Structures are given as structure tokens and as C-alpha cells.
């Protein structure tokens, strides 16, 4: 996972983008392109479409950096929002096209429900990303050790220099927070319904 | 149905649980999750644990981060306790949301396409100088390669190779050691630009190899993945700074100890070094890695071609090639001299006339004594010291001694 960055980085980045600094665009791409591409891929299900959304998202960031407000949300969240919005837009456009064809050629079942399900899953994923990146750092570190580094909770406790009780508490609390991504309703500013 | 009933129902005839099983390994490989009893090991005796401890174990259980005995105890308890079964299901589902969505390999060419389309739509007020673009692209490609590396990859052995005194030389290190090497050598440019030199605390040794050795020595244990962030920060910082100083600073001299390069060539040289070592790393961890884009590769080849007359003179000074004989003649500076036509094939290719007898002479088609044809990537491998001059599959025509000199001089451009 990306290393932690102070909001200062977000602010400076916005200023650099607004100033028209091409190097800043490269840095923003390097940091967020994997997130953008994977969120878009989750909604659209194919590489080419995800590439297209990635291009649109960075074009938006580059052309309209002033629409990001660092006081409202981290840059990461804003970029995830823009991605979600553009990806869902593209998905709806695609389905619209399919429906028009289907009307000319009856027999094609409406894909509407599936579309809504895809959008819902993508929203949950976007919320999960938001939660992981905004939860208290000690919780996130514990989850990273247990999940990505495959440490058991005793090793996690030793790595973090905390008691085993505390490690168990962090793992449980971290997952409890993450589980709220499944709840309906959208936390402010995080990849919700469009 | 209560959570506990549902849990028992989930066990069903085939003991399959609808609560997702503890996750498999992240890579989906044949790694048994820790703490799970395998088939035939179901007989792990449950522990006698109070309810609050069982509850506190749910997170670790969902992450498959308990001992086998604890796992068995928790699962036994879930059959009896609705509250815990509900929470267990919820936490286990949450684990599914943790998986790293960003580990997808992005096509490196996408970066170029996306950035170009952005810059077409809104021209930058502070562009990245054209001569810094290869460095920007190559550092981004290497960083993407490193993205998913685990500890095993970071510590995979790598052998750095180069040519010295017409013979192959080498040095063993690890993937992390290679990044430390790039950090140390890129630091030459950082220092020239007045940025923080990563070796500032060390008694500043002059050249790339000495700096790298000093950096490696400066840490008590071998370099780890921790070296990635400072390397990337420095490479971003270099691109940013040269964008601001713009074209005016392109001629600023960067010292490599025993020689200097103007900034724009130094940035190209570092782009080349970054690609070559990224390839070393890719080979070490058995990943595919492609050459730079033809536009960038062409610039790197052009730099090598421009450095060749100096390298030829250096060989003569070192006594590695014959002193000028009867067929050679010294010419006044800038006048056409005996030349070799270097033809590079492929999309990155082109033709260069290399003056043979003096760096001051101009290449001249009228004085062409030899012609060498080589594939672009192969020429770069030769210049990187990864391919010996004898092995280079060069099409050759004309003065064989001149050809040999040029091929060995190309290999002599390499260093650690």
C-alpha cells in the first residue's frame, strides 16, 4: 500500500498542477494510476475501457485541478470519486447502447440489474479503499502485517511492539471499520452512487 | 434464523461453510493459511477460553492469523454463539475487501499515452525538458516493476556486470542493492543541481562505483526495500528540478569524478543506467522487461555514439589500441577525419559517422574506412558491458582493426 503522505503533499500537488507543471502530472500518475485503473476495471471489466477511463481521469485532474479542495478530502479520495463517476458514466453509456440495440432485436434480456450490481460492488470497493486509507495508522499497520505479510497475531504484536491483546484488538477493530464499506449509505466524499 | 443456527446450517452435510473460509495466500499459491487444521487434523483439542477472549480473537481468526488450536476453538464457539457468528461472518467478508486492488500490472506504455493526451489538451507551462523524458519514463517503469516485490524479490541476488580493461568485470549485490546503486549515482546529478545528495553524510567519494561502495558500506546491514522510497523521491525531484531550471541548465556540468557530462547528457546517461539495471533486476526475479520506447532508445544510442570518439582516444592513451600508424593521419580540429559508419537497425536506429583518430575531428562519409551494422538493443547491451565485443553480432565491412577498436570502445563506456 502507498506510504502515508501528509495532506501537505496533497495541497502542494494541487498547486503544482494548477501551475501547469508537467512533472507534477507524472508524479500524480505514478502514485494513483494503479488505483484509478483498478477501480475503473472493477466497474467496466475490461482493460481497454479501464485504459480509457484512466486517460479521462488524468485529463480531468490536469485540466481542472482547481475543482479539488484539499480541505474537503484527501487527494486520493477525490481521484477515486472522479474515477468512479467517469467509470459508471461509461458503463451506463455502454448499457444504453446495448439497450437500443436490444430494442431493435428483442430477445436480448435487459442487463439493468447486473449493471446496478456492478455499480454497487464498485462502490463498496471504493469505500473500502477509502476506509483503509483513512483508518488510524496503528490499525492499518496491523491489518497489513496480518494480511499482506501473513504474520499471525503474535508475530504482528511482536512486529508492532505491542501486547498480543492489543494486536487482537487492532485486527478486530480494523476489520469492523472495513466491514462498514458494505453498509448502505455513502460516507461523505467517497465514491458513492452517482 | 439466529447466527449460530445459520452457522450450523452452513456446515451442512459436506461441512462447507457459507462464511468464506480463511483466505488462501495472497498470491493464491499453494501456501496453506496459517493456523488452519488441514484435513485429518480436525482433532486439535479446543482450548478453554473465556467469552471475551474468544470475541477478541475474531479479527485474527477472520485473517487466519491464529494458532490451529485457537482457530478450532473459535469455530467451535461460532456454532453456539449467534452474536459471535454474525460478527465472524461480517469480518470475514471484510477481509475480502482488503485484497490489494493495485497489484495489477499496468502497461508502461499507458503512462506515455495518458500523459501525452493530457499535455495535448492543456499545454504545460513548465514542461519536462525533452532530454529528461527518457529518465522520467525509465524511472517510472522501474518503479512499476518494483511495485509488487516481496522480501524474496528485494533480496534476490543480482550480478552487476561491466567492461574494464577490455575484460568483463562484475560485482554481486541484491535487487535492493541495485536500487541503492541507482540512488547513489543519480545523486551525482542531485548534488550538481544543489539538491540533497544522498551521500552528503559520507566523505564524498568521486565516481559512481566509489559512491555506490561507500553507500553500501554506510549501512550496517544489506539494503532492504526501504531504499525504494528515497530513490523514487530523488528521481521525481530531479525531473521536477530540471523542469524548472529548464533549457538554460542543460549545459550545466555534472561531475562523475574522472569526467564530466553536461546535465542533459547526464540525465540521458542515468536513464540508460536505469533501464540496464531494471533489466538486471527483471532477469534476477524472472520478470519480462522491455527495452525503452524507440524515441528514447534512439537518444541513448546517440549519446553513446557521441561519446565514442572520446572513448577511442582513451583506449589509445591507455595503450589498449595501436598508436596511429601510416594509414592514420591527425587532422585539425573540426576537419573531417577517418570515420566508421555505425548503422543501428530497428525503430530506434539511425546512422552515425564516428571519427576514429581524434575526438576533435568531424565524422566524414568521404573518409569512411569501415561500416558496422548492429541492432539497437544489442548495441546498448554492448555499451552496458553486458555483451562482449567478440559476441556482438555485428555486420562488418572494411578496416577490421577500426571495427574492433570501436566495438571495444563501446564496451568501455560501461561501468558499475
* Domain CATH code at residue A119: 1.10.1740.10
Q: Is the pLDDT confidence value at B35 over 50?
A: no
Q: Is the pLDDT confidence value at B106 over 90?
A: no
- Asked whether the beta carbons of A56 and A86 are under 8 A apart, the reply is yes
Which whole number is the average pLDDT over B4-14?
Answer: 44
The pairs formed by A29-33 with CB atoms below 8 angstroms and a separation of 24 or more are: A29/A58, A29/B111, A29/B114, A29/B115, A29/B140, A30/B111, A30/B140, A30/B143, A30/B232, A30/B236, A31/A2, A32/A75, A32/A76, A32/A79, A33/A58, A33/B106, A33/B110, A33/B111, A33/B114
Q: Is A192 a domain residue?
A: no
- Asked whether the beta carbons of B54 and B77 are under 8 A apart, the reply is yes
Q: Is A53 a domain residue?
A: yes
**How many angstroms separate the CA atoms of A4 and A13, rounded?**
15
Query: Do A156 and B243 lie within an 8 Å CB cutoff?
Result: no
**Which among A23, A29, A55 has the least Cβ separation from residue B243?**
A23
Q: Is A190 a domain residue?
A: no
Strands of B258-349, DSSP E: 260-262, 339-345
CB contacts, 8 Å: A173 with chain B? 59
**Which among B106, B110, B124 has the least Cβ separation from residue A22?**
B124
DSSP bridge partners of B253? B262
**How many angstroms separate the CA atoms of B317 and B314, rounded?**
5
Return the minimum-mean-pLDDT range out of A145-154, B4-13, B117-126.
B4-13
CB contacts, 8 Å: A171 with chain B? 59-60, 62-63, 65
Looking at every residue in chain A, the average pLDDT score rounds to: 85
User: Looking at chain B from residue 79 to 108, which residues have their Cβ under 8 Å from any Cβ of chain A?
Assistant: 87, 90-91, 93-95, 97-98, 100-104, 106-107
Return the minimum-mean-pLDDT range out of A86-95, B10-19, B165-174, B404-413.
B10-19
Residues B117 and B201 in one domain: yes
Q: Is the pLDDT confidence value at A50 over 90?
A: yes
Q: Is the pLDDT confidence value at B1 over 80?
A: no
Question: Tell me, what's the pLDDT at B199?
Answer: 83
Query: Do B57 and A170 lie within an 8 Å CB cutoff?
Result: no
Q: Is A188 a domain residue?
A: no
Which whole number is the average pLDDT over B200-219?
Answer: 83
pLDDT in tens, B303-339: 999 999 999 999 988 888 876 554 555 677 788 889 9
Residues B319 and B194 in one domain: no
Residues B283 and B220 in one domain: yes
In A, minimum Cα distance to B120 occurs at: A59
CB contacts, 8 Å: A129 with chain B? 101
Question: Which pLDDT band holds residue A108 (cuts at 50, 70, 90)?
Answer: low
Question: Tell me, what's the pLDDT at B98?
Answer: 85
CATH number at residue B317: 3.30.1050
Query: Do A168 and B57 lie within an 8 Å CB cutoff?
Result: yes
Asked if the C-beta of B34 comes within 8 angstroms of chain A's C-beta atoms, the answer is yes
DSSP bridge partners of B167? B164
Chain centroid to CA B308: 26
Chain centroid to CA A17: 21
Half-sphere exposure (Cβ direction) of B269: Cα atoms closer than 13 Å: 24
Give whole-number Cα distances, B8 to A57, B19, B57, B58, B73, in Å: 47, 11, 20, 17, 15
CB contacts, 8 Å: B60 with chain A? 146, 152-153, 167-168, 171-172
Pairing mode of beta strands B157-164, B260-262 = unpaired
Please state, for a pLDDT cut of 70, what percent of chain B lies above it: 84
Residues B239 and B131 in one domain: yes
In B, minimum Cα distance to A125 occurs at: B97
Q: Is A194 a domain residue?
A: no
Query: Do B63 and A132 lie within an 8 Å CB cutoff?
Result: no
Of B230, B264, B290, which marks where a domain is finished? B290
Residues B314 and B332 in one domain: yes
Query: Do A25 and B121 lie within an 8 Å CB cutoff?
Result: no
- Best B53, B83, B101 member to test A by mutation, with max A CBs in 10 Å, is B101
CB contacts, 8 Å: A191 with chain B? none
In A, minimum Cα distance to B100 occurs at: A1
CB contacts, 8 Å: A27 with chain B? 236, 240
Min Cα distance A9 → chain B (Å) is: 12
**Which among A147, A151, A182 has the least Cβ separation from residue B93?**
A182
Q: Is the pLDDT confidence value at B254 over 50?
A: yes
Q: Is A187 a domain residue?
A: no
Q: Is the pLDDT confidence value at B85 over 80?
A: yes
- Asked whether the beta carbons of B78 and B85 are under 8 A apart, the reply is yes
Which whole number is the average pLDDT over B358-382?
Answer: 93
- Per the structure, the complete domain to which residue B205 belongs is given by 107-290
DSSP 8-state class, residue B241 = H
Which whole number is the average pLDDT over B180-204?
Answer: 88
CB contacts, 8 Å: B34 with chain A? 150, 152
- Per the structure, the complete domain to which residue A20 belongs is given by 7-182
Question: Tell me, what's the pLDDT at B55?
Answer: 95
Residues B170 and B244 in one domain: yes
Residues B282 and B338 in one domain: no
Return the minimum-mean-pLDDT range out of B112-121, B252-261, B406-415.
B252-261
Question: Tell me, what's the pLDDT at B380?
Answer: 96
- Asked whether the beta carbons of B382 and B161 are under 8 A apart, the reply is no
Min Cα distance A13 → chain B (Å) is: 12
**Which among A27, A33, A38 has the least Cβ separation from residue B236?**
A27
Q: Is the pLDDT confidence value at B20 over 70?
A: no
Min Cα distance A146 → chain B (Å) is: 6
Residues B76 and B219 in one domain: no
Which pTM value belongs to this model?
Answer: 0.79
Residues B272 and B302 in one domain: no
Residues B166 and B216 in one domain: yes
Question: Tell me, what's the pLDDT at B109?
Answer: 87
Of B70, B99, B128, which marks where a domain is finished? B99
The number of domains in chain A is 1
CB contacts, 8 Å: B59 with chain A? 168-176
- Asked whether the beta carbons of B144 and B280 are under 8 A apart, the reply is no
Q: Is the pLDDT confidence value at A37 over 50?
A: yes
Question: Tell me, what's the pLDDT at B368?
Answer: 94
Question: Tell me, what's the pLDDT at A126?
Answer: 79
- Asked whether the beta carbons of A175 and B95 are under 8 A apart, the reply is yes
Pure H helices in B170-285: 175-192, 208-218, 228-245, 263-285
Contacts with B323 (C-beta within 8 Å, 6 or more apart), sequence order: B316
Residues B303 and B379 in one domain: yes
In B, minimum Cα distance to A181 occurs at: B94
Q: Is the pLDDT confidence value at B90 over 50?
A: yes
Query: Do A21 and B114 lie within an 8 Å CB cutoff?
Result: no
User: Looking at chain B from residue 227 to 266, which residues have their Cβ under 8 Å from any Cβ of chain A?
Assistant: 229, 232, 236, 239-240, 243
The number of domains in chain B is 3
Query: Do B25 and A150 lie within an 8 Å CB cutoff?
Result: yes
Asked if the C-beta of B29 comes within 8 angstroms of chain A's C-beta atoms, the answer is no
Question: Tell me, what's the pLDDT at B197?
Answer: 86
**How many angstroms separate the CA atoms of A27 and B224, rounded?**
23
Residues B281 and B315 in one domain: no
Min Cα distance B236 → chain A (Å) is: 7
Contacts with A191 (C-beta within 8 Å, 6 or more apart), sequence order: A39, A77, A80, A81, A83, A84, A122, A123, A126, A127, A129, A130
CATH number at residue B281: 1.20.120.450
Amino acid at each position: 500500500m502507498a506510504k502515508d503522505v501528509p495532506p501537505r503533499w496533497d495541497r502542494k500537488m494541487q498547486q503544482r498542477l494548477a501551475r501547469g507543471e508537467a512533472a507534477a502530472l507524472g508524479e500524480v500518475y505514478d502514485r494513483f494510476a494503479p488505483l484509478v485503473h483498478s477501480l475503473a476495471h472493477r466497474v467496466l471489466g475490461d482493460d481497454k475501457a479501464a485504459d480509457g477511463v484512466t486517460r479521462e481521469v488524468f485529463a480531468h485532474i490536469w485540466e481542472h485541478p482547481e475543482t479539488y479542495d484539499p480541505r474537503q478530502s484527501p487527494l486520493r479520495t477525490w481521484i477515486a470519486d472522479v474515477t468512479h463517476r467517469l467509470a459508471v458514466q461509461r458503463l451506463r453509456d455502454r448499457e444504453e447502447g446495448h439497450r437500443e440495440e436490444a430494442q431493435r432485436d428483442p430477445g436480448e434480456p435487459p442487463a439493468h440489474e447486473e449493471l446496478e450490481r456492478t455499480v454497487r460492488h464498485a462502490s463498496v470497493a471504493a469505500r473500502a479503499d477509502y476506509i483503509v486509507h483513512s483508518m488510524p495508522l496503528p490499525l492499518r499497520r496491523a491489518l497489513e502485517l496480518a494480511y499482506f505479510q501473513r504474520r499471525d497475531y503474535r508475530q504482528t504484536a511482536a512486529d508492532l511492539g505491542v501486547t498480543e491483546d492489543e494486536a487482537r484488538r487492532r485486527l478486530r477493530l480494523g476489520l469492523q471499520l472495513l466491514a462498514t464499506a458494505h453498509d448502505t449509505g455513502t460516507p461523505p466524499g467517497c465514491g458513492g452512487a452517482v | 434464523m439466529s447466527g449460530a443456527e445459520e452457522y450450523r446450517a452452513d456446515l451442512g452435510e459436506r461441512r462447507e461453510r457459507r462464511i468464506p473460509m480463511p483466505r488462501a495466500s495472497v498470491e493464491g499459491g499453494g501456501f496453506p493459511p496459517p493456523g488452519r487444521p488441514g484435513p485429518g487434523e480436525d482433532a486439535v483439542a479446543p482450548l478453554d477460553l473465556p467469552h471475551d477472549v474468544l470475541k477478541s480473537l475474531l479479527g485474527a481468526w477472520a485473517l487466519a492469523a491464529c494458532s490451529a488450536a485457537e482457530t478450532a476453538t473459535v469455530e467451535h464457539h461460532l456454532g453456539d454463539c449467534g452474536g459471535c457468528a454474525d460478527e465472524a461472518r461480517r469480518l470475514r467478508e471484510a477481509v475480502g475487501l482488503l485484497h490489494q486492488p493495485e497489484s495489477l500490472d499496468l502497461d508502461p506504455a499507458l503512462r506515455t499515452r495518458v500523459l501525452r493526451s493530457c499535455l495535448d489538451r492543456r499545454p504545460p507551462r513548465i514542461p519536462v525538458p525533452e532530454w529528461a523524458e527518457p529518465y522520467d519514463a525509465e524511472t517510472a517503469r522501474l518503479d512499476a516493476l518494483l511495485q509488487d516485490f516481496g522480501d524474496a524479490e528485494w533480496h534476490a541476488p543480482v550480478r552487476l556486470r561491466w567492461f574494464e580493461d577490455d575484460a568483463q568485470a562484475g560485482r554481486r549485490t541484491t535487487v535492493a542493492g541495485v536500487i541503492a546503486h541507482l540512488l547513489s549515482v543519480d545523486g551525482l546529478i542531485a548534488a550538481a543541481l544543489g539538491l540533497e545528495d544522498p551521500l552528503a553524510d559520507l566523505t564524498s567519494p568521486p565516481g559512481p562505483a566509489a559512491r555506490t561502495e561507500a553507500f553500501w558500506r554506510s549501512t550496517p546491514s544489506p539494503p532492504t526495500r526501504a531504499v525504494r522510497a528515497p530513490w523514487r523521491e530523488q528521481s521525481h525531484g530531479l525531473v521536477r528540478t530540471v523542469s524548472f531550471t529548464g533549457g538554460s541548465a542543460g549545459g550545466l556540468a555534472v561531475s562523475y569524478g574522472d569526467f564530466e557530462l553536461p546535465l542533459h547528457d547526464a540525465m540521458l546517461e542515468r536513464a540508460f543506467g536505469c533501464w540496464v539495471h531494471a533489466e538486471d533486476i527483471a532477469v534476477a526475479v524472472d520478470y519480462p522487461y522491455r527495452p525503452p520506447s524507440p524515441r528514447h532508445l534512439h537518444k541513448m544510442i546517440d549519446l553513446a555514439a557521441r561519446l565514442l570518439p572520446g572513448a577511442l582516444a582513451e583506449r589509445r592513451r591507455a595503450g589498449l589500441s595501436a598508436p596511429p600508424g601510416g594509414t592514420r593521419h591527425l587532422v585539425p580540429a573540426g576537419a573531417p577525419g577517418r570515420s566508421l559508419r555505425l548503422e543501428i537497425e530497428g525503430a530506434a536506429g539511425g546512422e552515425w559517422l564516428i571519427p576514429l583518430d581524434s575526438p576533435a575531428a568531424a565524422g566524414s562519409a568521404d573518409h569512411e574506412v569501415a561500416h558496422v551494422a548492429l541492432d539497437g538493443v544489442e548495441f546498448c547491451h554492448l555499451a552496458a558491458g553486458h555483451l562482449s565485443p567478440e559476441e556482438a553480432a555485428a555486420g562488418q565491412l572494411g578496416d577490421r582493426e577500426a571495427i574492433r577498436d570501436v566495438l571495444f570502445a563501446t564496451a568501455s563506456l560501461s561501468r558499475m
